[in-house]
Amino acid sequence: MNESSSYVRHFNWGKLGVISVPYFWFVMLALIPILIVLKISMSEMELTSVSNMVDWSNGWPTVKLNFSSYLFIGGDALYIKTYLSSIKYAFITTLLCLAIGYPFAYFMARSPKHLQPMLLMLIMLPFWTSFLLRIYAWKTLLVSNGVINNILISLHIIDTPLLMMNNSFSLIIGMVYSYLPFMILPLYANLSKLDMRYLEAAADLGTSPFKAFWLITVPLSKAGIIAGSMLVFIPAVGEYVIPELLGGPSTLMIGRVLWDEFFSNNDWPMASAVAVVMILLILVPMAILNKYQAEQAGSKS
Amino acid sequence: MATAPNDEKQSAPKEVLLRVDSLSKIYDGAVKAVDDVSLTVNRGEIFGLLGGSGCGKSTLLRMLAGFETPTKGKIFLEGQDITNLPPHQRPINMMFQSYALFPHLSVWENIAFGLKRDGMPKDEIAERVDKMLSLVQLGKYPKRKPHQLSGGQQQRVALARSLAKRPKLLLLDEPLGALDKKLRETTQLELVNIIEEVGVTCVLVTHDQEEAMTMASRIAVMSEGYFLQVGFPEEVYEIPNSRQVADFIGNVNMFEGVIDEDEPDHVTVNCEDCIQYVGHGISCSPGQLVSVAIRPEKILLSQTKPDDKYNWVEGEIIEIVYFGANSTYHLKLTSGKVIKVQEINTTRELTCWRTWGAKAYAHWNDMAMIVLTQ
Amino acid sequence: MSQVSNRVFAKSWMIGVYAFLYLPIITLIFFSFNDSRLVTVWSHASLRWYGALVNDSDLISAVLLSLEIAFLSALMSVFFGTFSAFALHRYTRFKGRTLLSSMASTPLVMPDVIVGLSLLLMLVSIQHWLGFPQRGLFTILLGHALLGTAYANVVVTSRLREMDIRLEEAAMDLGCKPFQVFKLVTFPLLIPALVSAFLLTFTLSFDDVVLSSFLSGPGYSTMPMVIFSRARLGLNPTINAVATVTIVVVSAAVIASSLYQSHQERKRKREMALAYSNKNS
């Protein structure tokens, strides 16, 4: 039934109010800021502020577009390398989250019904407690004189401490650790809705459990896989805190570059240009996620 | 089946309460949910809208309630145009499908909800709610929340809530749809009794023909947004105006044939399997193609060949569907056509001649059938 | 694989993941009771770092600021999130609906650094024009409320989707004007969702370091900002003590609320079963 369009007529005033309040809010805080970033990325830094894009000095407006920041990014191998390595780390993180999270979500969805709320809560609990403190905790575990090395040495498994900190290993551990719940939750939501009768029907028709898993469970959970992967990948590309605390100086992540351009070099146009390029990189994954979410919403109503 | 429209109702002057004038609802400029429907409902009547899912009956009901805006047409209640009145200003209340009881309010508060909106004094509200509770026999549970009630009790709360404001018109959207089969029969009668006690005019939407037949005093059979036939339940069942209605309501055997004799007192139709002798005149002309519809319960089975020229066929029993009280026999005629015959199981014999593969004759009298020209 | 080994595999996989998730947290708590200045070497149990915490005025004022911001931003988030959820769920067709829905979901995934940078640059531009707002509590609040609104929108929307539209129609049918429908039916039914949206956005705000760093001005350091600056310098036992306190408080709240919820759910199911059995007797 066409529920929503039906009695709306009686609500016209309310409709205008209900829509314009969040519209105003998001336009002010989400849309305009991004446009300003775009504008500043094409300006030049002038002492403490940025140059005006529209120049009135001749008595009429002249638009000055300055692409120097972009040219600088495109011409500098380090920037390109940093973007690529951000994507690489985000990609590895996504794959590992999927590899760990998918079986987990699957088993969780198959566990006894009365246990599931508790299992779910145990996944959510770390998510509720401070992200920063949990990343810090990994630092205490991984450093050369950290907990893991101390234990391994005292058990005489190793003689010299393993180098687990300030490299891509610690970075990826931290990222997988932080983003795993974002993978598990949509997958679990999807898998727990999967009708077991499909699998019974497959078994009844002579499919082995292993084959049934690949032929039925995985295709039916595609939506969950896409959502989970995008929810991990997109924020992981721009992650700042984890590489800063666990990555050490050698791991290149674009979030840190942006931070340094802004806070250390005070170069706003450059920081903006870095941000704009980052947005362009995550635009496609964002579109995929939006499409998926729209489909989900559509199928439910 | 409902009792025939009794004399009292017939003789009382019919007062039109609701009039719907060529109402249409078109979605997205193309999908005709309701297509040029007109109807009148008299005061005190229970009017049934019967049809399959997607036939437009719910859309029509929602337009009466005010949840949908008609694309075209007008709705009049007691002669007053209410087409553009929002739902909260219409003196019409609805009993919703699956009840829509407010889960956060008690039974008492649910029933009082509409009265409070009218600004009725508190003591009057209390009095009215108590009256309603005793009407639906829920006086014991005013403080319960809806989830603490059984399905049948929830249904009665929903009824009480929709009656509390004494609406001029009560809309019932699949009122028994959420109940199981056993409960449905008793509830049906309860519901009709209460409605009659209150004397409220009703429009009832249902997909269940039995429900429509038992509850409604008049029925509109709906399909693809328009009315196929409007009439008393027995009219719609016994004198369907088209093949579609005959098919939709109950089971029917159809014989296609050509009019042979066309006399004022009788008609004969030549069909492939037999010659049909219809004991009354109809408006048609010789040579016209018609369908002769016969209900399965109006056919008798016999072992011996009927001593008649007309109205019988010969065949073999190929299927017996046993319902307990009665059985339906599927008879395969020599032409290959299969007809259904329903007989009441009057004896307790487990074996009789009506078995699979048995040869049987089916016959019917000359008033059993209806000739359909469209 | 046999049924039994399957189950063993499933169980060990799950235990492994939980161990991975909880190992750091447990270590953190364990070493908060360590007397040694070295965070990773156990000497003997003491409450030394909790004592240090009580006297750490920087940290305490940061905690108070964080609580204040978290409370206010959660209120704002729930307010605007409810509005946007209503707009998006109720009105399926209006101009710019797609824009609104993408604006509402972008902050969920957009990297924090971009959100922080863009908000700051906007606020600076406004300040250039109008002379306010000064960077500080208000600007942090705006950033957190933006993020929180996106989350609250998701929570409220999913509740609205479950809600039977017929309840609102019934209210209208019984004489409610549109606003009364909201006040008497929709809002009471939304309360549980609003509470969870509040808790979620409160925690998000309490946890945020990146947005706060961009948006705060001199003199306004939130708790995560203080912890972050200390953690960057190296390991610090007071952080363990702070962590333990936070974790205990948050866990207690989360566990209590989920126990309460499951208790309510069970009570409801019992009453429903009872209603049906009474009817038959």
Q: Neighbouring chains of A at 3+ CB pairs within 8 Å? A: B, C
**Per-chain mean pLDDT for chain B:** 89
Chain A residues closer than 8 Å to C149 by CB: 22, 25-26
Buried b (16+ CB within 10 A) or exposed e, C87-126: bbbbbeeeeeeeebbbbbbbbbbbbbbbbbbbbbbbbbbe
Alpha-carbon distance of B298 to B316, in angstroms, equals 18
**Per-chain mean pLDDT for chain C:** 88
Q: Is A5 a residue whose pLDDT tops 50? A: no
Q: Are A2 and B63 in contact (CB under 8 A)?
A: no
Of A64-78, A96-110, B50-64, B126-140, which gets the smallest average pLDDT? A64-78
Q: Is A269 on the interface with C (CB under 8 A)?
A: no
Single out the residue of B301, B290, B310, B309 nearest to residue B339, CA to CA. B301
pLDDT of residue B77: 94
pLDDT of residue A4: 39
Specify which residues A54 forms β-bridges with. Answer: A63
pLDDT of residue A178: 93
Topology (CATH) of B7-246: Rossmann fold (3.40.50)
Q: Are A123 and C13 in contact (CB under 8 A)?
A: no
pLDDT tens digit string along B297-355?
999 999 888 888 889 999 999 999 988 888 999 999 988 999 999 988 888 877 778 88
> Is the N-terminal amide bond of C133 cis, ω within 30° of 0?
yes
Alpha-carbon distance of B27 to B207, in angstroms, equals 22
Alpha-carbon distance of C256 to C269, in angstroms, equals 20
Better pLDDT: C227 or A8: C227
Q: Are A241 and C228 in contact (CB under 8 A)?
A: yes
DSSP string, C112-149: HHHHHHHHHHHHHHHHHHHS-PPSSHHHHHHHHHHHHH
Q: Are B355 and B303 in contact (CB under 8 A)?
A: no
Chain A residues closer than 8 Å to B90 by CB: none
Interchain CB distance below 8 Å, A29 and C119:
yes
pLDDT of residue A286: 84
Q: Is B89 on the interface with A (CB under 8 A)?
A: no
Q: Are B316 and B357 in contact (CB under 8 A)?
A: yes
Q: Is A63 a residue whose pLDDT tops 80? A: no
Amino acid identity, position B329: Y
Q: Is A104 a residue whose pLDDT tops 80? A: yes
| Chain A residue closest in CA terms to B27 | A2
Query: Please, where in chain B does CATH 3.40.50.300 lie?
Result: 7-246
Alpha-carbon distance of C61 to C223, in angstroms, equals 8
Residue from the list B27, B58, B87 with its beta carbon closest to the beta carbon of A7: B87
Confidence tier at B283 by pLDDT (50, 70, 90): confident
pLDDT tens digit string along C211-221?
999 999 888 99
On whether residue C76 sits in a domain, the answer given is yes
Helices (H), C33-134: 48-54, 57-90, 97-109, 112-130
pLDDT of residue A289: 82
Complex prediction ipTM: 0.86
**Per-chain mean pLDDT for chain A:** 83
Contacts for A27 with CB less than 8 Å, ≥ 6 apart: C103
Residue carrying structure tokens 């019984």: C174
What residue numbers bound the domain in which C201 lies? 56-240
Residue B35 tokens, joined: 């297509």
| Residue range B251-372 in CATH 2.40.50.140 | yes
Interchain CB distance below 8 Å, C164 and B104:
no
Better pLDDT: C37 or C244: C244
Q: Is C108 a residue whose pLDDT tops 60? A: yes
CATH of the domain at A126: 1.10.3720.10
| Chain C residue closest in CA terms to B64 | C173
On whether residue C22 sits in a domain, the answer given is no
CB neighbours (10 Å) of residue C213?
A: 24
pLDDT of residue B164: 93
Chain A residues closer than 8 Å to B66 by CB: 7, 10
Q: Is C109 a residue whose pLDDT tops 50? A: yes
Confidence tier at C264 by pLDDT (50, 70, 90): confident
| Chain C residue closest in CA terms to B111 | C174
What residue numbers bound the domain in which A220 lies? 69-300
Distance between alpha carbon A202 and the CA centroid of its chain, in Å? 36
Confidence tier at A117 by pLDDT (50, 70, 90): confident
Phi and psi torsions of A103, nearest 5°: -60, -40
DSSP one-letter code for C45: B
Amino acid identity, position B54: G
Alpha-carbon distance of C261 to C264, in angstroms, equals 5
DSSP one-letter code for A57: T
How many domains, in total, are found in chain C? 1
pLDDT tens digit string along A158-175?
888 888 888 889 999 999
Average pLDDT over residues C220-224: 92
On whether residue C274 sits in a domain, the answer given is no
Phi and psi torsions of C111, nearest 5°: -55, 140
pLDDT of residue B9: 45
On whether residue A48 sits in a domain, the answer given is no
Q: Are B49 and B205 in contact (CB under 8 A)?
A: yes
Residue B119 tokens, joined: 């600004």
On whether residue C46 sits in a domain, the answer given is no
pLDDT of residue A2: 39
Chain A residues closer than 8 Å to C114 by CB: 37, 238, 258, 275, 278-279
The alpha-carbon gap from B157 to the nearest alpha carbon of chain A, in Å, equals 25
| % of chain B beyond a pLDDT of 70 | 96
On whether residue A2 sits in a domain, the answer given is no
Q: Is C77 helix (H, G, I), strand (E, B) or coil?
A: helix
pLDDT of residue A228: 92
Single out the residue of C95, C234, B67, B332 nearest to residue A2, CA to CA. B67
**CA angle in degrees (0–180, nearest 5) for C133-C136-C141:** 90
Phi and psi torsions of B86, nearest 5°: -70, 160
The alpha-carbon gap from B251 to the nearest alpha carbon of chain C, in Å, equals 35
Give the sign of the dihedral formed by CA C98, CA C101, CA C103, CA C109. Answer: negative
A residues 160-189 near B, CB within 8 Å?
none
Specify which residues B300 forms β-bridges with. Answer: B363
Q: Are C198 and B133 in contact (CB under 8 A)?
A: no
CATH of the domain at C107: 1.10.3720.10
Residue from the list C21, C113, C203 with its beta carbon closest to the beta carbon of A128: C203
